[in-house]
Amino acid sequence: MSQQVQEKYEESYLYKIRHSAAHVMAQAVMEMFPDGKITIGPPVENGFYYDFDLPRSLTPEDLEAIEKRMRGIVQGKHEFNKKVVSADEAKKIFADQPYKLELIAGLEKGELDEYGEPLKEKPEISIYQHDTFVDLCRGPHVENTKEVKQDAFKLMSIAGAYWRGDEKNKQLQRVYGTAWENKQQLKDYLNQLEEAKKRDHRKLGKELEIFVFDEEVGPGLPLWLPNGAIMIEELEKLAKEMEEKAGYQRVRTPNLTKEDLFVRSGHLPYYAESMYPPMELEGVKYYVKPMNCPMHHKIFGSKGRSYRDLPIRLAEYGTCYRYEKSGELFGLMRVRSLQMNDAHMYVTEEQFEQEFLGVIDLYHKYFELFGIEKYVMRLSLHSKAGLGKKYVDNERLWLKTEDMVRRAMTNADVPFVEEADEAAFYGPKIDVQIWSVIGKEFSLATNQVDFAQPERFDLKYTNKEGNEEVPLCIHRAPLSTHERMVGFLIEHFAGNFPVWLSPEQVRVISITDAQNEYAENIAKHLRSNGVRAHADLSAQRMNAKIRQAQLMKVPYMLVVGDNEMAAEQVSLRVRDGSQQNNIPLGEFLERVKDKIARRAREL
């Protein structure tokens, strides 16, 4: 959730409901465990949580008991009362609560708030009380507990969480819950979660034989199975077609390079924690690359360039390696090996707007192709406080390039929001958030401006007057990485991919062994016409073969028996449940070839 969205959320009535529900839950838990210790309990995107230090582990049965007690509390219609107190008063109130005392100390010094987050200024110290429960809290809350509707909240799960997120500290028990304004909203949310479970790319990816992980290979390093490799090839084919039309040139670069290259690019000082440790050979350190840009800069700088050559657009599906923490790995969404739809565009200042908007146009074409209807483009800016630490220290160029991006988006009437302190270290960027058809949010990719690295690499072109100038660089990846894009598409389509993207497009099913040769010949004919087809010649009954094809979400099933063989026809069963009997094979072939050629979403 972006800072802007977070701020809007914190002003909402729903935020107050969830914050109040967290306090009600804490009261119920402390009544069950009077010797327990409380820590923090904030609202989060779809609910709330509270962390506890308890004498024993909680069970699912405990959640039921806590939920039941919460319903009793909310019915009591207890008012939430705020009181501003001194640090000494707060220490007396929470004398037997060590975690609260630690937070009070941070508030007293003006260093940390009651959630342990850094403060910009020294705040007031306040408490909230409802019924018998008192908590260190700045609010806000609803007027009374009855506004937390007893049929509109639910406790969801129990998880471990280290105090202040530091694994050196004690592990606490985190209870997650969700709360909504009414019963229907809760029901809709729970239904959405159920649908999301069915669409989970980790589950479907294994069932549809798209990818696997293996401990001997290593965490975060996916192995693409044949079906996954087909999807990757289709995405690369799509990108290459689109980029060729837009005037890109394809390049290839090695997977590792000398340390000096990343020192020169500036990635090592800013990015070292996300890079794999170096290997040393003959006294020289080498790194596996976490990004392609330094090598693309080298390709640009490999010969003299004129203004007549620009813009130059270098594209590559390069494999990169980034060291994500083990706890942050998540299926294909957070991995350590990734193949990016990467490109770097070297442009003059006059060309910048047109080229930058050309990338935005690519995004829109992909959104239409995949049926992505909801998305947000976010202009991620620098912060002045981060100059020289998190960001390249050049305030003038930051402001200039941020304004260039802002002006381009505004001139093209492309909606966007702004977010401070989220830029790349070398320049502002447009971050793209998309939502699947069931409303699940994904971070897709970025469109970045780089004013720092061209100068670091001494990149030049000769202008009309014969003088040397430094080009601007645009980094872009509209199709993200193969890993993230395939993960999104699995969940977006629930594995029911459009024909062009389906690993297996047609399965030919013989009713008896007598039609096996006919079925195999059909499959061969389809393959010779560019259709991915397979004949199921197993000894299973026809219905079992159909069921297996449905489980693998094959778009088209061609059933052939004696009648079809005699008439040189097929009977079509479509994944959506429709059927068409006794149609000429040529008619079907034209249909499927048309769907593939147009990359149609419909069957």
Indicate whether 94 pLDDT > 70.
yes
Q: What is the pLDDT of residue 495?
A: 96
**What are the residue boundaries of the structural domains of the chain, listed by start?**
3-182, 207-493, 499-598
Contact status, residue 126 vs residue 86, Cβ threshold 8 Å: no
Indicate whether 2 pLDDT > 60.
no
Per DSSP, the residues of 186-202 read HHHHHHHHHHHHHH-HH
Indicate whether 1 pLDDT > 60.
no
How many angstroms separate the first and last alpha carbons of the chain? 35
pTM of the model: 0.84
List, in order, residues 6 or more apart from 6 with CB less than 8 Å away. none
Distance between CA 306 and CA 581 in Å, rounded? Answer: 63
Q: What is the pLDDT of residue 124?
A: 86
What is the CATH number assigned to the segment(s) 499-598? 3.40.50.800
DSSP label of 183? H
Q: What is the pLDDT of residue 390?
A: 76
Distance between CA 145 and CA 77 in Å, rounded? Answer: 5
Q: What is the pLDDT of residue 422?
A: 78
> Is the fold of 3-182 the same as that of 207-493?
no
Three-state DSSP at 13 gives: helix
Contact status, residue 38 vs residue 30, Cβ threshold 8 Å: yes
The structure tokens listed for 314 are 């270098």
Picking from 1-5, 173-177, 316-320, 446-450, which range would have the lowest pLDDT averaged per residue? 1-5
Helices (H), 214-323: 226-245, 259-265, 267-271, 293-300
What percent of the chain is predicted at pLDDT more than 70?
A: 97
List, in order, residues 6 or more apart from 343 with CB less than 8 Å away. 243, 248, 313, 314, 315, 316, 475, 476, 477
Q: What is the pLDDT of residue 379?
A: 86
Per-residue exposure over 491-506, b if at least 16 CB sit within 10 Å of its own CB, e if not: bbbbbebbbbbbbbbb
Indicate whether 417 pLDDT > 90.
no
Distance between CA 283 and CA 269 in Å, rounded? Answer: 21
Beta bridge partners of 570: 583
Count other C-beta atoms under 10 Å from residue 218's C-beta: 10
Q: What is the pLDDT of residue 200?
A: 94
Band of the pLDDT at 165, cuts 50, 70, 90? Answer: confident
Q: What is the identity of the amino acid at 552? A: M
- Nearest-CA neighbor of 455 among 469, 468, 470? 470
- pLDDT tens digit sequence for 119-132: 666 678 999 999 99
The structure tokens listed for 554 are 């094959």
- pLDDT tens digit sequence for 29-68: 999 999 999 999 999 989 999 999 999 999 999 999 999 9
Count other C-beta atoms under 10 Å from residue 11's C-beta: 9
Picking from 103-117, 276-290, 412-426, 470-484, which range would have the lowest pLDDT averaged per residue? 103-117
List, in order, residues 6 or more apart from 75 with CB less than 8 Å away. 145, 146, 150
- pLDDT tens digit sequence for 485-515: 999 999 999 999 999 999 999 999 999 999 9
pLDDT, average across residues 245-264: 94
Distance between CA 144 and CA 127 in Å, rounded? Answer: 15
Q: Which CATH architecture has domain 3-182?
A: 2-Layer Sandwich (3.30)
Long-range contacts of the stretch 213-219 (C-beta < 8 A, 24+): 218/336, 219/326, 219/329, 219/336
pLDDT, average across residues 239-256: 95
| Backbone conformation region of residue 96, classed left if phi is above 0, alpha if psi is from -120 to 50, else beta | alpha
Give the CATH fold of the 207-493 domain: BirA Bifunctional Protein; domain 2 (3.30.930)
